Chain A
Amino acid sequence: MRTHTKLSIAALTLAVLAGCSSTGPEQPAAPTEDKSPTAPTGPTVSPVTPPSVDGKKMTAEEALLAQLKDPNSPLSKRIIYFDYDSYVIKDSYASLISAHAKFLTANPKFKMLIQGNTDERGSREYNLALGQKRAEAVKRALMLLGVQEGQLESVSLGEEKPRMVGSDEASYAENRRSEMLYSGEF
């Protein structure tokens, strides 16, 4: 788990430094093993916890990345859930959206991919369109708060990538979502 996080951060760092966009089917998936010689060795990898805890010095970039992962930061929360058949963002997500908007406006080098998803009920193609609306809703909300369009990309995965597999309301609710991913996380 720890290794996994480390590697993800290493990948994220590389992606951000490279000014990576979302193109290319060769995007590295989240590494699942650390034995691979091609995995980033990450000498600059930082701990997940803030620098004060373990005393090491971090670059500004690394501190930002750590912030995105810090479970105590709202930025670590990336999912916005929707009501059935709806692409209206509920008021309760206002502070979460604004935290991400602040981060993105303060760090214009960072890019975000917003993936819209639906539950499995109904037409696959309609759900693909509905997922797009859910992703677009988040994109628009971020833009209203000053985020540049060039930092944001919205895509839909429709009902094809459920977080929870099951035909019950708990699964459906978990799957009606938009996920916000930063460069290197997708």
Chain B
Amino acid sequence: MIKLFRLMAVALLFAAQFAHAQLTVEITGAGANRIPIAIANFAGEGLLPQALVGVVRADLERSGLFKLVDPGPTPVHQDAAVDLNQWKDRGADALALASILPVPGGRYEVRMRLYDIARQGKPDGMIFVFAPATVRETGHRIADFIYEKMTGERGVFNTQIAYVVKKGSRFELTIDDADGQNPRIALRSADPIISPTWSPDGTRLAYVSFEAKKPIIYVHSLTSTSRSVVANFKGSNSAPAWAPDGKRLAIVLTKDGSSQIYTINADGSGLTRVAGSSSIDTEPQFSPDGQYIYFTSDRGGSPQIYRVPASGGNAERITFEGSYNVTPRLSPDGKTLAYVSRNGGRFQITAMDLATRQTQILTDSSRDESPSFAPNGRMILYASEIGGRGVLSAVSADGRVKQKLSGQAGGDVREPAWGPFNKP
């Protein structure tokens, strides 16, 4: 009986592993000055149920800011005496070494040392204790450590993304690691799910579901998997966007006819109108300081991006080039506006420096939608299309690094949203 149970558990594990199509990341462009780094095989990695160093290497390479130098096959202990000149001769500007030891409680300890060969200073070190089930997460944390030490900005490898997969006529709201290797389905539906967006604390998703045959806004707790209706007014309820305080959302309702922007508490109380016009007003998005709500409106005759003080007031037009600029998304520092512009029939992710109002088209594809900034502002995740199928891609905010996250199995992937640094 116990044996049977064990077998079943194994079968379930396998099912869980293969039930979800993983996204593979392909880098199609990289930064101009990639840091050459050697990450030696970790001493004691064989103790782990899953590979660890591979996660670290893949993360750093995918960022487009690092170039992996071949470290050779031999594991190197983290406190081994190393001849840095020898590594320099191999072309490495940085060297990472790590050792893994079992610790009480069935857990592991990884100790790491990072040498900045170019700067010749003392190595940086870190220690993580982790459970066997969190090998991948630990890899992302190590990669974040290296990334931050070498680039000076916080890494986003240990963050999560959400997206919607359409499989046949079914829709799956999916939560995944930022590398697309750990998909978990949060909601399955026979009807469309759109516009998932993360609460600032990373514990909840707001989204729009058509399951009641019309668009209704829900807030879904990822810790309890419970969910509640935020807005179910007459007409459409859509385009949720969290305020930076995580207490209120900007939403779009059509209860009085055309699409208008409101704010509402996350529990559905306290509805307040922000902007009203007889034109289309939609896709609200708070600036990171909470001062403004950016939105799309066709009040000037074509869809353009505007902003209005979050407390209400006059709208100011932000985009002027072209006849279709939609889906405003602010970078975490509030300095850059990413949006979708139509250029000669192509829909492309575009960035505007809000100080100078200079714009730059970041992508060279033609069906790009739903830009979403990484929490460090470096990359912008977006939905694209290849061969008639929805795929996720990412481009750096300066347009230099490009990545494709393509599903291995069938399914249209769309509506990506990059989560915050905070994880539940």
Contacts and interface: CB of A to CB of B under 8 A. Distances in A.
B194 A123 contact: no
Given A123-B296, A132-B259, A154 B235 contact: yes
Given A122-B340, A124-B195, A129 B252 contact: yes
Contacts of A104: none
A167 B254 contact: no
A49 interface: no
A160 interface: yes
A121 B367 CA distance: 8
Nearest to A124: B194
Interface string A102-135: 0000000000000000000111111011101100
B210 A160 contact: yes
A178 interface: no
Contact of B282 (A27, A128, A186): A128
B235 A123 contact: no
Given A123-B369, A124-B369, A125-B252, A167 B388 contact: yes
B88 interface: no
Interface string A155-170: 1111011000001000
A126 B342 CA distance: 13
A25 B110 CA distance: 53
B238 A128 contact: yes
A153 B213 CA distance: 14
Interface residues of B, number: 38
Contacts, number: 90
B215 A128 contact: yes
Nearest to A156: B236
Contacts of A160: 192, 194, 210
A123 B212 contact: no
Given A121-B347, A123-B369, A155 B214 contact: yes
Q: Could you say which interface size class chain A belongs to?
A: 20 to 34
A136 B252 contact: no
A1 B238 CA distance: 37
A130 B142 CA distance: 46
Interface in A27-41: 27
B210 A156 contact: no
Contacts of A61: none
B326 to A, nearest CB: 4
Given A155-B235, A160-B192, A160-B210, A122 B388 contact: no
A85 interface: yes
A121 B383 CA distance: 12
A121 B324 CA distance: 11
A121 B257 CA distance: 23
Contacts of A157: 210
A129 to B, nearest CB: 4
Contacts of B252: 125, 129
Given A130-B280, A155-B236, A160-B210, A122 B324 contact: yes
5 contacts: A27-B213, A124-B369, A129-B280, A157-B210, A167-B388
Interface of A: 25, 27, 85, 121-126, 128-130, 132-133, 136, 153-158, 160-161, 167, 186
Given A126-B282, A153-B234, 14 more contacts: A85-B303, A123-B283, A123-B326, A125-B283, A125-B327, A128-B194, A129-B258, A155-B214, A155-B235, A155-B236, A157-B210, A158-B215, A160-B194, A161-B192
- 3 smallest CB-CB distances across A and B, nearest first, come from A129-B259, A160-B192, A129-B282
